[in-house]
Amino acid sequence: MSDGEEGRDHYVLYVLRRLGGIDFEYLKSRPMRGGVYIREVPVVVGKISYKGPFLVDDYLFTARYAKGIPKINLPGPSTAVDCLYDEYYKDDIEKMAMDYAGAIRHEVENLLESGCQIIQFDDPVLLRNLDHARKWGLKALQLCFSGHEKHALYIVHICRGYPHKSLEKKGIDYKAKTEYYSHILDWLSDSTIDILSIEGQKSNLDLSMLPAAGRKTVMLGVVDVGSDEVETVEQIVERGKEALNYLKKEQLILSPDCGMLQLSLSSAKKKLINIAEAASILNRT
């Protein structure tokens, strides 16, 4: 269980505001999602650094109310630096990502000391630039919890891009390429990440690529988070069975494609209930 990030203004900016070296007062424009739109973003004016705990209270709040095991989410390095305008690192994006990861590692240590057992890194930008992912993206991701690999379960969530209805209405393709998943899964199969979370429903992902994950657990998106239309239990079960043609049962977790912010409360609840029921059916077969 997580707090759903309800207390955050943005899943990345909430964290960046609490690190040193980043100016949020004077924003600058930079292209996003491969240049399909422009956004005003904070500016890196010094070394990205750790200033003190900022997610521990969020974790303890979740732990106080969660009936299951509480989980906390952090933006991954590739995604975090993609939300910044660099005026300090002189375009050395790898160094910027590594400094971010080093700062986050301190927060991971604090979370572990507070009892956190599951930490998820949301890093969809890994899927947008395979060259960066291969050269430094995965290394930066692992640096976030280096030395603490056995102290918790670590998840990386890599969707193809959160639903953007205005771009969809214009017919603009803003999603990362589905064929990149096979490369990312292959590289992550040798990583210290425990669970690989991917988008599967909206993209109608070809599940024949799942063996690229090796022995890793795959958290497969089986409901669309951009549409209030609720997938039936039967539809989810069939998708799960298809995935089990390529993965062992203990390697598969059913999930939404991404966060459910854009859905109505009723739709979100029904989708989650149906996922749980489908998982129960699959576990009995």
Q: Is residue 38 part of a domain?
A: no
Q: Is residue 51 part of a domain?
A: no
The domain in which residue 135 lies consists of 64-78+91-284
Q: Is residue 19 part of a domain?
A: no
Q: Is residue 52 part of a domain?
A: no
Task: Find the CATH number of the domain harbouring 108.
Answer: 3.20.20.210
- Each residue's pLDDT tens digit, 11-26: 999 999 999 999 999 9
Domain count, the chain: 1
Q: What is the pLDDT of residue 223?
A: 98
- Each residue's pLDDT tens digit, 230-276: 999 999 999 999 999 999 999 999 999 999 989 999 999 999 999 99
Q: Is residue 4 part of a domain?
A: no
Q: Is residue 44 part of a domain?
A: no
Q: Give the whole-angstrom CA distance, residue 195 versus residue 249.
A: 14
- Each residue's pLDDT tens digit, 161-196: 888 888 888 888 888 899 999 999 999 999 999 999
The strand ranges marked E within the chain are: 19-32, 37-50, 71-75, 85-86, 118-122, 153-158, 195-198, 217-223, 252-256
Q: Is residue 138 part of a domain?
A: yes
Q: How confident is the model at residue 97 (pLDDT cuts 50, 70, 90)?
A: very high
Q: Compute the mean pLDDT over every residue in the chain, rounded to the nearest whole number.
A: 95
The pairing of strands 19-32 and 37-50 is antiparallel
Q: Give the whole-angstrom CA distance, residue 193 versus residue 181.
A: 16
Whether 52 and 82 have beta carbons less than 8 Å apart is answered as no
Q: Is residue 162 part of a domain?
A: yes
pTM beyond 0.85: the answer is yes
